[in-house]
Structure formats: C-alpha cells, structure tokens
A and B are shown apart, each in its own frame.
Chain A
Amino acid sequence: MSDQNQNSSEIHGVVGYYSDVDGIMNASRKIRDAGYKKWDAYTPFPVHGIDEAMGTKPTILPWIVLGMGLTGLCVGLGLQWFTNAYDYKFLISGKPTWSLPANIPVTFEVIILFSAYTAFFGMLALNKLPHLSNPLHKLERFKRVTDDKFAICVESKDPNFDLARVSKLLGVGSEHVETCPIDTTKAALPIWFHGVAAILTCASFIPLALAFKGRFATSEKPQYHVWPDMDFQRKRKTQTAWEGFPDGRAMRLPVAGTVATGELRDDFELYHGVAQGTAVPASVRYDAALFGSAAGADRPEWLAGFPAAVVVDEPFLERGRARYGIYCAVCHGNQGNGVGAVALRAENLDAAKWGWVPPKALHSDNAKAYSNGELFHIASNGISTMAGYSAQVPAKDRWAIVAYIRAIQATQALDPSAAPQDVEFQPVPTIDSVRVSDSGADGE
C-alpha cells in the first residue's frame, strides 16, 4: 500500500499500531499534547489510566443519572399521591392515604428504575452506540486489536489533521503506521435482514391487536385462564353442596350448644312476642293453630302489651311510622287501609288468579283482635302470601311498626264528626272504591 501518496480527503485517518500498553500510553500522550480532537485509542482490554493519557474529559453521565434519579423521586412520590391520596382515595390497613413510610419503598424502586435505565441507555448514547460500521474494520491488520495489539487512529476530520505530521507522531514507538481509506462499499443491509425485520415488526403488533380485539369482541368460548390455580382455588364457596361432609353441605352448622356473637335471643318478649320463659312458637309463616280464638291449648302466651326492652313514646311511634312507610305501606297503604301501590297493581292485573291474597286493611276488626305478640309474629314471619320481615327489620323496629299499627287502628275508631270542621274530611278509600272499572276508566 502506497500510504504517503493518498490525498487526505480520500482517507479516513492514520492508524498506528503498538505492541504493549506503555507504547500506546506514550503515543496517546503525544497526540493529546499535539491538540488533536478527532481520534481514539483501540485496545483488546480496558487499560487503566488511558483516560488521563488521552485527555478525555470526565463524563457528564453521573449528573444525568442524578437528575433522572431526582425525577424518579418526584414521579414515585407524585404517582402515589395522585393515585392513592388525590384521584381515588383508598384506605389500606388503616394507614393515612398519604404517608411517607408507606411510600418510600415504591419511591425507592422508581428512583432505581429511572437511574438504572438512564445509566445504561445514557452510556450507549454518549458513546454513540450502537455503531454498526467503522472503516477501520476493513483493515486486515486492525483485526489484531481484538487479540494482542493496540492501535490509535487519528481521523482526517480533525481540523489540525496533517498526514505527514500525524504519521510521524504515531510512528514513535509503533510497530507500523498505515492510512485507512474511506469505506466506499455500499452501505446496504443484507436482503434477509429486511424480511426478518418486517416479520418481527408485524409480529410485535399481535399482542396489541389481541388486546384491542378483547376490548370489543364477544365470544362463546370460556375465558382463557392465565392463572388457573387462582381462578379455580381448592375451596368451597358458601351455600354450595359438597360430598366431603356427611351431610353433603360445604358449610358447617354452628357447633351445638353455641350461639354466635349478637345472636343470643334470650329476651322472649322482644324477639318472639311471648311471655318470658314460655314456649316459643316456630318461626314459620302464620299457623292457624297458634292464633286467635280458634287456637287450641298450644296457643302461645302472646304478649298483650309491649316488651320491657322498648319504651313506647312519641319518638318510638315516629320510628314506627317511618318503618311502616318504608316496608309496609307499599302493600297495606299509607293509611293502613290495604290500598298500597302493589295492592292496586295486583288488583288491576287480577292477580288473585295466580293465588295472590290481597293485603288486609290493618284497622279491620280481625286485625284489631290480634294481640301485639301475634301482630309481631306476623310482621316477623309473614302470613298467607306476605313474607316475613325479620331479616330486613330489626326486632325493635318491628315492635315500633306494631305500635304504629295500633295508632292507625285507634285513629280509625274516632268519630268523624269530632274532627275539626274547617278540614274537609275524606273517608279512607277501600280497595273496592279505587278499583279501575273496565267501563269508566277513561270517563272518571
């Protein structure tokens, strides 16, 4: 190769080769002191101290990492503040929604995440990597640099580049000096690379497309279970059958002779409507043998008054009126006349043909004849097609309703003429008076 004949515009640079670390260190110092900027040293292994010999400035990467670490600090804290303390306040383990001890681990992780990625990708970017090609790779001799030789290349792009001077500088202590021509080979990627890249690019859209489809498409097929052991746990749910126990039930009954907390109902008056210590009627819907004058010797000792646990006063009656309005009036009507919205609807649908029993007027003689205990039992357990309300209404509230029914009955017994004369008195309607007749519905 006729090194010295080439024009400096046609060459990439000049390369000097050295056999040991001392050689390249000395040459580096010379090039550094000569004020060149566009040059680099190539070694088969990291050489300590070459930064100083090359005059490389300290990297700014630590500052970038520090900045991104502080960014991570703010992002980590901000994320937790926004998600848990501002946008969707969520109480976890009774801790404050915004609390530093709980936030530190996540903040720490975000700082590490940001710093580590910045350090890694920042290092690549500052080193201008990935760098796929270099004209030096064309030199046969340069391949030894990956094994046992050391090289320095001063590029012709350097403003101070002078072929003769650089060659002389590099020549001191070197094994060989040569020029490196500009790489004129066509920079084209192999054809298979395009195919593989196209396939991989298309494939990368598949998960996104599947997720998008999943948002809108419906399917007859069962759901795909990513974690089957979580979706199908080895446990029995409540109220299901299981052959594992002799009685075939997955749930266990309370241990015999025990009472769950809050379930001790030893106040017979309050919970069963009978005198304390007497036989308790079964919690079943109206049993004629237990009620009224027709009942036989099994008739419980129904409570005539109210349990000792309740105080019948104005707030209690007001409570009863409110509960009555919520639970009872929809069938029995606001006035207790048996003309509630459901009763009206059922009447107009002729629901009796399906076995519907219309709600009774609560001020009828029949209803008046019941003792308080009997009314309480009916409110609790139901009668004919009426369901019991013991599940929805607590015992004391049921007694408040009984008290309110007694108030309705009492007001119905008043003489209308005793009412204030300046108020227009309207008789309480009955179910017959409000029935929508087939003929006169439109005219009235």
Chain B
Amino acid sequence: MNTSIELPKRDQVIARDLAGPAKAGLVIGVLALAATALFGLGYGDGMRHFGHSMLVALLFFLAITIGALFFTVLHHLTSAGWSVVVRRVAEAITGAFPVLFLVALGVLVIPVIMGSSYIYDWASHDFVYGGGDFPGSELIQAKGGYFGSLFFGARICFYFLVWVGLSRFFAGQSLAQDDDQDPSRTLKMQHRSGVSMVLFALVTTFAAFDMSMSLNAEWFSTMYGVYFFAGCFWSFLATLALATMWLEKRGNLKGVVSIEHYHDIGKLLFAFTFFWSYVSFSQFMLYWYADIPEETHWFHYRMWGEWTNFTLLLAAGHFLIPMLGLMSRHVKRRRGVFAAWCIYCLVFQFIDLYWNVMPEMVNGVGMGDPATTGPAFGMIDITAMVSVAGLFLFGFLNKLNGKPALAIGDPRLPESLAFQNV
C-alpha cells in the first residue's frame, strides 16, 4: 500500500488557547440566561414562555451532545476506520454533558420538584385530578405512577449520569491512548461499546419521553424516542463538520482532515435526513391510519390551525429540500457549500424542536388552544438559544483545551488519514 503517509506530530494538533473562548462562552451564556429570565418575567405568564424557550434550547444542544456520544460509541462498535480523525471532536463535544445537566437541573428538575407546572402539565395536581379551572384528566391519572416529581427528577439525573459516565469513559480512554499509544485501549473500548450502546439507546429514548413527549402527557408515541434520536445524530453531524472545519482553519487539524472525511460526514448527514423523515412519517402514518382521537390530537392542532404553515415548512425544509440538496457528491465535496448545508440543517433541527415543544406552551395548563394561537417567536427564544449555546461551547471548548484535537494514539489513525472514497 501507499507508504507515503506522514503521521502528524503531537505538537501540531494540540488545541491551544481555547480557555479564552470557553470563558467567553460561559459569560455570554450566563448573561443571556439572565436576559431570557427577564424577558420571561415580562410575559407575565408565570414564566411559561421562558420555560418552553429554555427547553427548546436545552434539547437543541443536548441533541448535538447525545449525537456526539452516539458517534463515539458507534465508532468503536463498528470498529470504524475512516472516522478516527474526527472522533476527538465528537469526544470533546460530549464534554458538554455536565454543564447541560446543570441547565436541566435548573430549568426542569428543581422547578418540578418544587411543585411548578410551568413546563410540564402533569406536575399540576389540579390539571391531573381536577380542581380550579381544570376538569382533570383520566388519561394522565392512569399514568399517575410514572409522573411523580421526585421520580421524574431521579430519572433525569440517572440519564445524565449514564451520559456523563459513558462519555468520560470513552473520552478518557482515548486521551490516555494519546500518551501511551496502547492498542489494547481500543480493544477495551470496542468490548464495552455493545453494552454502552444498549444503555445509550434506552436512556436516550426515555429522556425523549420525559423531557419532550411528556409536555402533552395525554399523548403517547413509542416512536418518539427514535424520532428524537434521528434529530440528535442529524444535528450532530452538521455540528461535527462545522467544528472540524473551524479546527482545520485554526491549524489544529490542518493536513489531517481531507475532503474525503467531509464527504463521509455528508453521506451520513444525507442518510439521516431521510432517516428522520422515515421515522417521523412512520409515527404520523400509524396515527393517521388508526384515527383514534387520543392519539391524533397531538397532530391535529399542529396540522389544522395556526401551526399549519409551520408544519408544512418543517416537512419541506427538514426532508424535501435537504434530501435533494445533499444528494450530489459535489455538494459534499466542497467545504463552503457543505458548510452552508450544515448550517441549514441546524436551523431546521431548531425548527423541528420548536414545533415539538412550543404548541404545548399554550396547551393544557396554558389554558389556550394551540390551533388558534400559533407560533409566538420572540427575542426570548433567541436569547435562550444564545444562553445554552454559550454554556454548550464552554463545555465543549473546556474539554478540548490543551489537548490534541486528534486521537493521536489510535492504532487506526494511518488508515483514517489515508482514507479515500471510491
């Protein structure tokens, strides 16, 4: 084979001077969080808009981080070769789990345990069992055992415990391998990747149920977990490409990552564009066909009323346009064009989560009808995104700072460096 591959030197790939940007992310995140809270107070709706905007932002960046963990575990599970050069970027992104855990604690867990139903209707005793303005909901009462505030908090903590644990194991082994070049670490990670993947799948599915699907606790969908996951990996791949391009520009991955690697990321991005469509349509079609009111109502106020155009936008923008746009190999093999499509995908991942979460803001305890209210996008949604984005960048860059941006000790690095698409 071609023997002319030069392994990059350790000094060339170390990502230095990231403490500044990380700190900036933290400061911007905290400031934007304060701004979001002020905007939320201005609405005078018991912080309901604040809660839902923060939930969209949290889910958006959590999805990217979950996708990064999946990519890392999948790399070892399939004993992949080509992706070694970008795996460190994914491992660094999983460093955002702890800071996102803090956001989840503050926005979701602690308010629910303190008895607030500003996000989750099931946390309101009156809403579930009747009282005040509410007739009560037998459907939620039947699930009463699952929807307890302490149990909910314990579950969220458990999910993050698993995510943080898995990401620390894989990133830790990978970093240790940088120093000792020990191939047995790769085997160790491969051996543990199977059970990690099972654990990951269960935790991610139930996290999607608890954090997003339970916004309308009467509704249920067994496909919701995989639907959320499809968005996770989709948005992660877009983020991975953008982050890699940025590190390449900084010089940390210069001459290491080639257009071949972007081409492969692009292929996965294209595939998962379709996977998302496949899953979301499957979820929709089963309910459409059975036509049972307690199952269709979730779609009904999204499809008929003020959300109709938004739903059509999602179907066209999350499926049709990127599928046609990402189909050509020339798109995936041009950095600039591909970067534009990655940004496009991230925008529509936001729109997807917004579509999932925001109709529930006025529903239920919100005492309104989503079909007649429609989207109410405002500054608060932007500041919420900026806030979690800052905190996410802090977690990501802090993890990467001072470490090689490349898994320099991986025994399959030469294979990845020499990788070419046929």
Task: Show the binding face of A for B, using Cβ within 8 Å.
Answer: 21-22, 46, 48-49, 51, 66, 93-95, 101-102, 104-105
| CB-based contact B2/A21 at 8 Å | yes
**Complex alpha-carbon distance, A66 and B329, angstroms:** 13
Q: Which residues of A contact B327 (CB under 8 A)?
A: 66
Given contacts A21-B2, A22-B2, contact A101 B289 (CB under 8 A): yes
Q: In the complex, which of the residues B1, B281, B289, B422 contacts A95, with contact meaning CB atoms closer than 8 Å? A: B289
- Identify the closest chain B residue to A102 (Cβ): B289
Q: Convert B396-422 into 0s and 1s, putting 1 for each residue whose CB lies closer than 8 angstroms to a CB of A.
A: 000000000000000000000000111
| CB-based contact A104/B285 at 8 Å | yes
- Identify the closest chain A residue to B260 (Cβ): A48
| CB-based contact B281/A104 at 8 Å | yes
Q: Which residues of B contact A105 (CB under 8 A)?
A: 285
**Complex alpha-carbon distance, A104 and B288, angstroms:** 13
Q: Which residues of B contact A49 (CB under 8 A)?
A: 420
B129 at interface by CB-CB < 8 Å = no
**Complex alpha-carbon distance, A21 and B2, angstroms:** 7
CB distance from A173 to the nearest CB of B (A): 15
Given contacts A21-B2, A22-B2, contact A101 B420 (CB under 8 A): no
| CB-based contact B288/A46 at 8 Å | no
| CB-based contact A101/B285 at 8 Å | yes
CB distance from A116 to the nearest CB of B (A): 15
Closest 8 CB pairs of A and B: A48-B420, A101-B288, A101-B285, A49-B420, A21-B1, A21-B2, A48-B422, A104-B281
Task: Show the binding face of B for A, using Cβ within 8 Å.
Answer: 1-2, 281, 284-285, 288-289, 291, 327, 420-422
Chain B contact residues: helix, strand, loop or mixed: loop
| CB-based contact A46/B289 at 8 Å | no
CB distance from B415 to the nearest CB of A (A): 11
| CB-based contact A101/B2 at 8 Å | no
Q: Which residues of A contact B2 (CB under 8 A)?
A: 21-22
CB distance from B94 to the nearest CB of A (A): 31
- Identify the closest chain B residue to A108 (Cβ): B278
| CB-based contact B289/A93 at 8 Å | yes
**Complex alpha-carbon distance, A251 and B291, angstroms:** 33
Chain A contact residues: helix, strand, loop or mixed: helix
Q: Which residues of A contact B285 (CB under 8 A)?
A: 101-102, 104-105
**Complex alpha-carbon distance, A365 and B2, angstroms:** 119
CB distance from A102 to the nearest CB of B (A): 7
- Identify the closest chain A residue to B330 (Cβ): A58
Q: Which residues of A contact B421 (CB under 8 A)?
A: 48
CB distance from A389 to the nearest CB of B (A): 41
- Identify the closest chain A residue to B285 (Cβ): A101
- List 17 contacting pairs A-B, 8 Å CB cutoff, sorted by A: A21-B2, A22-B2, A46-B422, A48-B420, A48-B421, A49-B420, A51-B422, A66-B327, A93-B289, A93-B291, A101-B284, A101-B288, A101-B289, A102-B285, A102-B289, A104-B285, A105-B285
**Complex alpha-carbon distance, A118 and B289, angstroms:** 32
Q: Which residues of A contact B289 (CB under 8 A)?
A: 93, 95, 101-102
Known contacts A21-B1, A102-B285; 13 further A-B pairs (Cβ under 8 A): A21-B2, A46-B422, A48-B420, A48-B422, A66-B327, A93-B289, A93-B291, A94-B291, A95-B289, A101-B284, A101-B288, A101-B289, A104-B281
Q: Which residues of A contact B291 (CB under 8 A)?
A: 93-94
Pick from A48, A66, A104 the residue with the most CB of B within 10 Å. Answer: A48
**Complex alpha-carbon distance, A93 and B292, angstroms:** 12
CB distance from B417 to the nearest CB of A (A): 13
**Complex alpha-carbon distance, A21 and B421, angstroms:** 17
**Complex alpha-carbon distance, A327 and B421, angstroms:** 83
**Complex alpha-carbon distance, A21 and B418, angstroms:** 14
Q: Which residues of B contact A48 (CB under 8 A)?
A: 420-422
**Complex alpha-carbon distance, A21 and B3, angstroms:** 10
Q: Which residues of A contact B422 (CB under 8 A)?
A: 46, 48, 51
**Complex alpha-carbon distance, A94 and B421, angstroms:** 50
- Identify the closest chain B residue to A45 (Cβ): B1
- Identify the closest chain B residue to A51 (Cβ): B422
Pick from A66, A101, A102 the residue with the most CB of B within 10 Å. Answer: A101
**Complex alpha-carbon distance, A21 and B4, angstroms:** 12
CB distance from B419 to the nearest CB of A (A): 8
**Complex alpha-carbon distance, A2 and B36, angstroms:** 87
- Identify the closest chain A residue to B281 (Cβ): A104
- Identify the closest chain B residue to A105 (Cβ): B285
**Complex alpha-carbon distance, A48 and B291, angstroms:** 52
Q: Which residues of A contact B284 (CB under 8 A)?
A: 101
CB distance from B273 to the nearest CB of A (A): 15
- Identify the closest chain A residue to B1 (Cβ): A21
CB distance from B139 to the nearest CB of A (A): 24
**Complex alpha-carbon distance, A111 and B178, angstroms:** 47
